[in-house]
Structure 1
Amino acid sequence: MTREQRALRVSATATFGLAVFGIGFGLLTRSGAILFDGTYSLLDTFSALLMLLVVRLISSAGSGSKEGKLVERFTLGFWHLEPIVVGVSGTLLIGSASYALFSAVDALLKGGRDLEFGLAILYASLTLCVALSMTFFMRRANRRLNSAILAIDVTGWMISSALTAALLIAFVAGWLTEGTGLAWIRPYIDPGILALICLMVLPLPVPAVRQALAEILLITPADLKQEVDQKARALAKQEGFLSHRAYVARVGRGTQIEIYFIVPKGLPPRPLEEWDAIRDRLGEALGGEGPHRWLTIAFTTDQDWAE
């Protein structure tokens, strides 16, 4: 198991623990905010486990392990699974937050609900300690690995920490109002903070879902297309080729590039080694060589083959 997989495993275990803790406390205290916090952690667990599976498949695709044998069925790799997982997880979170928001508004309209603030403060304090600890742990782990998936997980823990801190502040404020002239506000604190948290959470997954959808639909990244066209155009000019066609996409951590050069008819034949040398030059110019780059370079005199 790689360091990336071990870090994700620790994160998934911690998230699942918080999910069980949150859902249990939410039912015990009848707090919609705590229940939503636990549900949020449960969705995070689902996402972390799927990401762990995807990372394991990608890293083992070229090995002799059992997962490596799946290459026979997935000859184009497993990169496409990453945006699917991100998109599904983000959509589930948006749906959960939307439902919780409607529930909170309904509770506010019906006069709120009573809450045992002592237990709620205990829950928020313990959860905040775990969330902050995992934020520092995952950030430290990602300093060496520089993994996009771990970066997403770090962001998730930071969001969880912020939401739990908001819960703690609200519960402490509600506890302090006991026996004062502001005691009437106590039933509205739980649904009120739940509605506020939902409004904060709802926009957060939208960029990730949008990016995942773009990768699933193989929408061409403008910056990558511009870079590939620039390097391919320069090479075509050096070699006397007529033109080129480039097709690019980013899918998860994978980059897919296909380049077709249109060469003049009747050129003197060249050894295959010379054509391979041209491919190597362009590959080095593009950079990013590694297991997550899929680069295809072809030469043809028939433009129809490149369209």
Structure 2
Amino acid sequence: MQTEQGILRLSIAVTFLMAVLGAVIGLIAGSSAIMFDGVYGLIDAVMTGLALMVARLIAASNAADAMGQSYSKRFTMGFWHLEPIVLGVNGMLLTGAALYAMLDATRIILGGGHAPSLGAVLIYTGISLIIDLGMAFYVRRANRSIGSEFVAMDARSWGMTAALSGSLFASFVIGHAIDGGRWAWMTPYIDPVALLIICIVIIPVPIASVRKALSEILLVTPYDLRVQVEDVADRIDAAHGFLGHRAFVARVGRGIQIELNFIVPRHWPARRLEEWDALRDEIGQALGHDSPDLWLTIVFTTDPEWVH
């Protein structure tokens, strides 16, 4: 269970079981908040399944590249681009579910609220809180050595789910405490108000994932990576007497794409191809990205038109 795929498989299994249980308990107990918890979990389970499929494709493609083979003739540039797509779709679905639940909670509040079966939802939210906290801790700790964006997303999802379960548990404890007393008139509003507050709190999290995914899909150049590549290229220009360069940089999921075009002075003495390859190795080492997820292209030319 210390691999990306192993962690995601475990997460899918636990998420699916808890989501089905939450949907059933929410339906039986008449709790909109618990129903939302179940639906939120089902969406997360499906998207984590897609993330697992993409992780397998990327791993298989990298393994084939390491052996000098092509994994797919239709995706010769790899499958890194699928990672931000899955992250973006996941964020949009979770945002849509939260917005719908928020509107539904508002409708219930304006309609006078409703009182769910507090005993059943207390037991469910208590068990759910323990499981969610345990999974959030375990997945986050496992990802320290894995370093996967998918696993990091899954850890954040478990953290959000734990916050959701904790808030629901606290709300229903309060509802159970005031039931039958002078504040009993508030009981019908506990469930929809808790749902409304939770939706408002968690909506920014998937929106941030969508924003990050869009920046990668649109190939927005990361500032820190651009600064690093430009620094290396400037040092190579100065050390080898090149007239200049042009750098193209992007981060797509776990993949890093770098293209460096150097302008060589005209009428330089001819060099053997092995010398140019050695220079490419020097540049690659200076960049410090010795990873199967790096797509590095280095070009040397005397024609400035080729660098634009």
Pairwise TM-score range, normalised by the shorter structure: over 0.9
| Residue 140 of structure 1, CA deviation | 3.1
Cα distance, 1:290 vs. partner? 1.1
User: What are the within-5 Å matches in structure 2 for residues 6-155 of structure 1?
Assistant: 6-63=6-63, 70-155=71-156
Separation of aligned partners in 2, 1:69 and 1:112: 59
Contact 2:2 2:142 (C-alpha < 8 Å) held by counterparts: no
Over 3 Å counting, the alpha-carbon distance change for 1:69 and 1:303 in structure 2 is closer
Aligned residue runs from structure 1 range 283-294, under 5 A = 283-294=284-295
1:194-213 equivalent positions in 2, closer than 5 A: 194-213=195-214
TM-score by length of 2: 0.95
The CA deviation at 1:236 is 1.1
What is the distance in 1 between the residues matched to 2:70 and 2:231?
Answer: 38
**Per-residue deviation, 1:221:** 1.0
* SS at 1:71 equivalent: coil
Q: Which amino acid aligns with 1:21?
A: L
Match of 2:191 in 1: 190
Counterpart residue identity of residue 51, structure 1: A
What are the equivalent positions in structure 2 for 1:238-249 lying under 5 Å apart? Answer: 238-249=239-250
Instruction: Select between 182-191 and 128-137 the one with higher mean Cα deviation.
Output: 128-137
CA offsets, 1:56-94, max 9 Å, x none?
Answer: 111111446xxx965221111110011000000000111
> Whole-Å Cα distance in 1 between the matches of residues 180 and 282 of structure 2?
77
Deviations 1:94-150 (A, max 9, x none): 111101101100110010012110011011011112112212321332233232321
State the identity %: 48
SS in 2 for 1:245: strand
Conserved 8 A contact 2:62-2:293: no
Q: CA deviation at 1:166?
A: 0.5
* Consecutive unaligned residues in structure 1, runs of 5 or more: none
Q: Kindly report the root-mean-square deviation, in angstroms, between the aligned alpha carbons of the 2 structures.
A: 1.4
The separation in 1 between residues aligned to 2:233 and 2:57, in whole angstroms, is 32
Task: Please say if residues 257 and 294 of structure 2, whose CA atoms lie closer than 8 Å, have aligned partners that are also in contact.
Answer: yes
Secondary structure of the corresponding residue to residue 72 of structure 2: helix
Shift of 1:169: 0.6
> 1:170-225: per-residue Cα shift (whole Å, max 9, x none)?
01110111220000000011110010011011111122111100000001111111
Amino acid at match of 2:27: L
Q: Distance in 2 between matches of 1:105 and 1:2?
A: 43
Q: Secondary structure at the match of 1:204?
A: helix
Structure 2, unmatched stretches of 5+, are: none
So what's the TM-score if we normalise by structure 1?
0.96
After superposition, where does 1:215-294 map in structure 2 within 5 Å?
215-294=216-295
Asked if the contact 2:132–2:158 (Cα under 8 Å) also holds between the matched residues in 1, the reply is yes
Q: Is the CA contact (8 Å cut-off) linking 2:2 and 2:146 kept in structure 1?
A: no
Structure 1 partner of 2:175: 174
Contact 2:70 2:76 in 1 (8 A): no
CA, structure 1 residues 233+149, in 2 after alignment: closer, same or farther (shift >3 Å)?
A: same
| Distance in 1 of aligned mates of 2:231 and 2:70 | 38
For 1:3 and 1:251, locate their aligned partners in 2 and report how far apart those are by CA, in whole Å.
21
Maintained 8 Å contact 2:136/2:158: yes
Measured in 1, the distance between the counterparts of 2:240 and 2:204 equals 50
Name the CA distance, whole Å, in 2 between partners of 1:294 and 1:44. 30
Partner Cα distance (1:34, 1:129) in 2: 16
